[in-house]
Amino acid sequence: ENAATLAVFDGHGTTADGHLVPLLANVGGAKDAAKAAALGAQGVGLFRTEFCFLERDTEPTVEEQAAAYKGVFDAFPGKKVVLRTLDAGADKPLPFLTDATEPNPALGVRGYRTDFTTPGVLERQLEAIATASRESEADVWVMAPMISTAAEASRFASMCDAAGIKTPGVMVEVPSAALTSASVLRHVGFASLGTNDLTQYAMAADRQLGPLAELNTPWQPAVLRLVQLTVAGSLEEGNGKPVGVCGEAAADPALAVVLVGLGVTTLSMTARSLAAVGTVLRTVTLEQAQELARLALSAPDALDAKAWVRAKLPVLEELG
Ligand code: PEP
Ligand code: MG
């Protein structure tokens, strides 16, 4: 759709009582980033780098990669851009990285795990990111997808350090990482909850299968509990490391309020949802968001959680 026809988010993400929650965009490349900036994104919370190279049979050179990354960074001078390293897998193949014959792609060699089978690609990507970052004015953060253990987080942080990248983080989208978030976060500076995969894995329900859509919602009590545990782990770590959300959950204005109530520090979403999420967030105080989070957690199932929270947010009706 055309950015000109969409509502523009104006200002900064905040609750009614001034608790700031930066509203960021999910992007796949420079064109998306320009559109997100025009729609008022305060930065990028998820740059899906694999989208830059889906047409490629061979690994892009470090120079080609750096140019693609810089195209996104340059749309947000002085702003935060969270880049995710390649999240290829048999379901989202990059021929130079993935094995299309895997019987069970969601549980396969994907995301950070491709470093087990194709070493070198991640190092070269980090080199390209460091180069592009030096040549741009964006505040570049870098995270790895599909981190499952603290040891993986530690190794990723070392690789970032070796490349000269000072802001390593992890996606929390595998339940094991959510359940052990204190020890995972010990090694990195931030976490970003990928609620799409976190839901798929918590519910053992392939996110691509229509008949499982009712299971596959981040309103599931199990998913909300995993978000709560991840934030609790970060607080246990004691140094207030940021925990954002970059899955589709953040684009649902009612759920976004619940996530803020659960303690997440940023919300990243498709740019067209920024205005609605920003509008609804401004109608509640942090304490009210926390109350709504408790309400959602107390619901017996996803449908009730959603209905109960939505009933307490009359502004949703104005948004249509
Ligand atoms: C997620 O899993 O929630 C996520 C943001 O990443 P992707 O949708 O690209 O897997
Ligand atoms: Mg994911």
CB of 173 shorter than 6 A to ligand 1:
yes
Are 125 and 49 in contact, with CB atoms under 8 Å apart?
Answer: yes
Sign of CA dihedral 177, 180, 186, 189: positive
Ligand 1 closest atom vs CA 87:
9
Q: Is the pLDDT of residue 154 over 80?
A: yes
Confidence at residue 238, expressed as pLDDT on a 0 to 100 scale: 66
Q: Is the pLDDT of residue 320 over 80?
A: no
CB of 89 shorter than 6 A to ligand 1:
no
Q: Which of 72, 147, 245, 246 is catalytic?
A: 246
Q: Is the pLDDT of residue 2 over 60?
A: no
In tens, the pLDDT along 172-200 reads: 999 999 999 999 999 999 999 999 999 99
Q: How far apart are CA 61 and CA 166, in angstroms?
A: 23
In tens, the pLDDT along 41-68 reads: 999 999 999 999 998 999 999 999 999 9
In tens, the pLDDT along 103-142 reads: 999 999 999 999 999 999 999 999 999 999 999 999 999 9
CB of 195 shorter than 6 A to ligand 1:
yes
CB of 48 shorter than 6 A to ligand 1:
yes
Give distance in angstroms: CA of 201 to centre of ligand 2.
Answer: 10
* Burial of residue 29, with CB atoms counted within 10 A of its CB: 0-12 exposed, 13-18 middle, 19 or more buried: middle
Give distance in angstroms: CA of 192 to centre of ligand 1.
Answer: 10
Q: Which of 266, 269, 316 is nearest to 14 (CA)?
A: 266
Confidence at residue 133, expressed as pLDDT on a 0 to 100 scale: 98
Say whether pTM exceeds 0.90.
Answer: yes
β-strands 139-144, 80-84: how paired?
parallel
Are 179 and 228 in contact, with CB atoms under 8 Å apart?
Answer: no
Ligand 1 closest atom vs CA 26:
5
User: Is 52 marked active-site?
Assistant: no
| Nearest CA residue ID for atom 4, ligand 1 | 194
Sign of CA dihedral 231, 299, 194, 47: negative
Whole-angstrom CA distances from 280 to 5, 196, 295 are 20, 22, 17
In tens, the pLDDT along 24-35 reads: 999 999 999 999
Q: Judge if ipTM > 0.95.
A: yes
Ligand 1 closest atom vs CA 200:
2
Sign of CA dihedral 218, 292, 178, 173: positive
Q: Is the pLDDT of residue 18 over 60?
A: yes
Are 71 and 33 in contact, with CB atoms under 8 Å apart?
Answer: yes
Q: Which residues are annotated as a binding site for Mg(2+)?
A: 173, 197
Confidence at residue 91, expressed as pLDDT on a 0 to 100 scale: 84
| Nearest CA residue ID for atom 3, ligand 1 | 194
| Nearest CA residue ID for atom 10, ligand 1 | 197
Give distance in angstroms: CA of 110 to centre of ligand 2.
Answer: 10
CB of 13 shorter than 6 A to ligand 1:
no
Give distance in angstroms: CA of 90 to centre of ligand 1.
Answer: 15
Confidence at residue 1, expressed as pLDDT on a 0 to 100 scale: 52
CB of 14 shorter than 6 A to ligand 1:
no
Give distance in angstroms: CA of 231 to centre of ligand 1.
Answer: 18
In tens, the pLDDT along 194-215 reads: 999 999 999 999 999 999 999 9
In tens, the pLDDT along 244-282 reads: 999 999 999 999 999 999 999 999 999 999 999 999 999
